Amino acid sequence: MREVSADKAYSSVDNHEVLESLGVEAYIPFKENAVVNLKSPIWSRHLCYFLLNREKFLPHYHRRSNVETAFAMIKAKSAGRCCRVARSRRSTKCWASWSPLCCQVKAIFTADLAPVFWEDAAPVTAARALALVRP
């Protein structure tokens, strides 16, 4: 892992120091009242970078919205069933991997592509694939 993006709630001296010790770039914005900490040069360096290089910082930070979008898709696709039905972590992971795959398959066939998954298999029709994808 080369970088971590998180929201302000995770902006702490400990988090910045741990990420630095692991060689991971921290893209965590600072709270309005954050100040230079003389006991933590790592925190202070990250704070100065955040304040003086916003145009370089923000594109990395906003990548976290991709993850948030993926979870929003899972919630929308499952219509809340994930929270009600899946009580175990294994079930939640299943939902998390199923939803993006479902969206990819739907996109492939919506674009009228006909993938062949095995050399000796006939192409799958869009109608058949969409019927399999719909919940």
How do the domains of the chain map onto residue ranges? 3-62, 67-133
Nearest alpha-carbon partner for 104 in 66, 73, 68: 73
Confidence tier at 131 by pLDDT (50, 70, 90): low
Per DSSP bridges, beta strands 3-5 and 25-27 are parallel
> Could you tell me the pTM of the whole model?
0.53
Structure tokens at 83: 């929270």
pLDDT, tens digit, 9 for 90 and up, residues 35-71: 999 999 999 999 999 999 999 998 888 877 766 776 6
What's the CA gap between 47 and 41, in Å, rounded?
Answer: 10
**Which letter does DSSP use for residue 7 in this model?**
-
Beta bridge partners of 26: 4
Q: Residue 27: helix, strand or coil by DSSP?
A: strand
